[in-house]
Amino acid sequence: MEESTEETEEASTEEETAETSTDESQNSDAENDVADFEEGDILQDTIDLEGLTMETATDNPNKRVLLFSNDEGQKEYKSVFIKRTNRLKIIDTANDDLLLNEELDI
């Protein structure tokens, strides 16, 4: 009986870990996580990510949409990466300005 209790505890710990990592990928420090993406270097070069929080709005086989918010929760930037063509658009949502719209060589 002790083994089944330990197995249950391990399973619940694994579930909690999975839930935590899902939450972190949804809303996290922009500077640390953006480097994990193909378009990360361009994002870091184009916008100042310091003090911004990154939220993954969409990430599917076709496109990835990332939202960058300030400490007050206001959206400052949005990036749209079209995976099939490697096209990246970076939008300054605070000023309604297109900062970048090009195909990346990656």
Residue 5 lies inside a defined structural domain of this protein: no
Question: Residue 27 forms beta bridges with which residues?
Answer: 55
Residue 44 lies inside a defined structural domain of this protein: yes
pLDDT truncated to tens, each residue of the chain (106 aa)?
Answer: 544 444 444 444 344 433 333 333 455 577 668 888 999 999 999 999 999 999 999 999 999 999 999 999 999 999 999 999 999 999 999 999 999 999 998 7
H/E stretch holding 80:
strand 75-82
Residue 16 lies inside a defined structural domain of this protein: no
The count of domains in the chain is: 1
Strand-pair category, 27-29 with 53-59:
antiparallel
Q: Residue 98's domain spans which residues?
A: 28-103
Alpha-carbon torsion angle 94, 98, 99, 102, nearest 10: 150
Is this structure's pTM higher than 0.75?
no
